[in-house]
Structure 1
Amino acid sequence: MNDLGAGFGYLLKGQRWVARHGRWFGFGLLPGLITLVVYAGALVGLGYGADDFVAWATPFADDWSSPWLGLLRTTLTALVFVLGLFLAVITFTAVTLLVGQPFYDSLSEEVERSEGGEVPESGLPLWRELWISARDSVRILLRVALFGIALFACGFIPVVGQTVVPALGFCVSGYFLAQELTGVALQRRGLPLKKQLGLLRGRLPLVLGFGVPLALSFLVPFVAVFLMPGAVAGATLLARDLVDPARGFPATGTGGIAAPQERAV
């Protein structure tokens, strides 16, 4: 429970940091605004087209009598839209971070600079950092898709599908949101995705305390855009807790920092 509260505390600290540094808050809004316009259009389209998609995908039910036809398709339409929201919450961060890589990397560096000590640098050219971010985002999204399919299937289980599954969905969303956001600071330290995930699993309550409230807040229209700068700042502070700040190495038991050759791939 302490770690859950501490994780939420990092989220609040990040928002307070950008509130004290208004220029960086405005700087960090730009990528989110661009991504929001695209995602809003996609979700509106999904809202209008989900019922047609379900009708197309369930031709076997065309001859079902009432109320079974309506019950099946209404349930599936709701699940399709919920799955769309689930994927939007996850992919919004990934796409926004990719679009705003230079913005958020600069913001993250400024957070670390304000906290004192040496600011880690990847030493990689921008195009290489963008490639690594895009590659890691695809890997994360594949993991999210597998979880999403499993949760979608479990949604048909009576009671469990309406109680446990949504809770698990937000935990999954929160975990991977935290990974995407802490990845800005951890990538600069040369940590490959596998080691990043190892760090997060080692402090899972801390990570969920940070990520789950953020995932819930991202469901509110426009909130994600305004929370993103503070979320990056908070995730940077969280990343500093996941590693040894004096040397930039992972904390004991995480397997050590990536070798030079791992940083470049």
Structure 2
Amino acid sequence: MIPGSPYLFRGFVLWRTRPGLMLLGMVPALLVALVLVAALVTLLLQLTDLVRWLTPFVEDSTDSVRVPVQVSVAIALVVGSLALAASTFVGLTLAVGEPFYAKIWREAELMLGGSVPDGDLSAWRATRDAVVLMGVGVAASVVVVVAGTVPLFGTVIGGVLGIAVSGWMLAGDLLARPLEARGLDAAQRSELAKGARSEVFGFGVTAQALFLVPLGAVVVMPAAVVGATMLARDLVAARDLVAAGESAPTADPSETF
């Protein structure tokens, strides 16, 4: 199993124990998803003309040259658009749904035990992180499209790279709320994430991959908020143990609420 992915899957526990709360978390995700689906449908309807516009240099070539190039560009555009939609979805949904996900985070903190951290949560942080995440999504999509001009392997390499970069940024964005509430600034959050790179990366990439499944993002987003809360608590606990001179235990995200 991918390191960090159990945190995401354990986040789905709230679908069984608090379905009403999780349905609430679907509202902003569903609204943003509808807008992005409409944009993707428009792209697909114009895909043939767009590919021809991007590949004028092969119009006079033989079919053995023109078809592979145009098919590769078409696949790259679709994959790149999906990556862009996924990243844009996350950024927009986190910004629009901040009150919804703040409520889910607080409930998750209570169910996991202890009081809810009372550190200041910056509204500007949510907006800033959303913009940064969307910017990363645009950059990743450009990489996918450019790489896709290389027949066959270019699209695969570009897609994997896009998911990897977007996944890392997504994990950092989801971890920001529970870590900021515990008094960690941006530099401290970054340092903490780097100390558990495999878990943070695995968590983010798993969530990002599931976001590419049709309507997956709508269902997964509330669970990802819960999973990020669990991961943040374990990261802070491990850091505190190390600071106290004790060995950090292996985190067990499989424990129930």
TM-score strictly above 0.5: yes
Alignment partner of 2:212 out of 211, 219, 224? 219
Counterpart contact for 2:11–2:224, Cα < 8 Å? yes
* Equivalent position SS for 1:243: helix
Residues 90 and 193 of structure 1: CA distance in aligned 2, closer, same or farther (over 3 Å): farther
Determine the C-alpha separation between the residues in 1 that align with 2:140 and 2:52.
Answer: 24
Superposition deviation, residue 238 in structure 1: 0.9
| Deviations 1:128-153, CA, capped at 9 Å, x for gaps | 51x32111222233334334434443
1:56-135 matches, cutoff 5 A: 56-123=53-120, 129=123, 131-135=124-128
Pair 1:45 & 2:38 matched = no
Alignment partner of 2:189 out of 166, 183, 196? 196
Determine the C-alpha separation between the residues in 2 that align with 1:234 and 1:28.
Answer: 14
Alignment partner of 1:168 out of 158, 161, 168? 161
Matched AA of 1:30: V
Determine the C-alpha separation between the residues in 2 that align with 1:115 and 1:157.
Answer: 48
Superposition deviation, residue 251 in structure 1: 7.5
Pair 1:137 & 2:130 matched = yes
Superposition deviation, residue 29 in structure 1: 1.4
Pair 1:230 & 2:227 matched = no
* Equivalent position SS for 1:67: helix
- The runs of at least 4 consecutive aligned structure 1 residues that moved more than 6 Å come to 248-251
* Equivalent position SS for 2:46: helix
- Could you tell me the percent identity over the aligned residues? 35
Q: What RMSD, in angstroms, separates the aligned Cα atoms of the two structures?
A: 2.7
Extract unaligned runs of 5+ from structure 2.
244-257
Counterpart contact for 1:15–1:230, Cα < 8 Å? yes
Counterpart contact for 1:199–1:250, Cα < 8 Å? no
Determine the C-alpha separation between the residues in 2 that align with 1:90 and 1:249.
Answer: 33
Counterpart contact for 2:144–2:155, Cα < 8 Å? no
Residue 263 of structure 1 corresponds to none
Superposition deviation, residue 81 in structure 1: 0.9
Determine the C-alpha separation between the residues in 2 that align with 1:143 and 1:198.
Answer: 20
Extract unaligned runs of 5+ from structure 1.
253-265
**What is the TM-score of this pair, normalised by structure 1?**
0.79
Residues 83 and 62 of structure 1: CA distance in aligned 2, closer, same or farther (over 3 Å): same
Alignment partner of 2:172 out of 169, 174, 179? 179
Determine the C-alpha separation between the residues in 1 that align with 2:55 and 2:209.
Answer: 31
* Equivalent position SS for 1:53: helix
Bigger Cα displacement from structure 2, 37-46 vs 51-60 = 51-60
Residues 148 and 33 of structure 1: CA distance in aligned 2, closer, same or farther (over 3 Å): closer
Matched AA of 1:73: Q
* Equivalent position SS for 1:220: coil
Counterpart contact for 1:18–1:229, Cα < 8 Å? no
Determine the C-alpha separation between the residues in 2 that align with 1:144 and 1:250.
Answer: 36
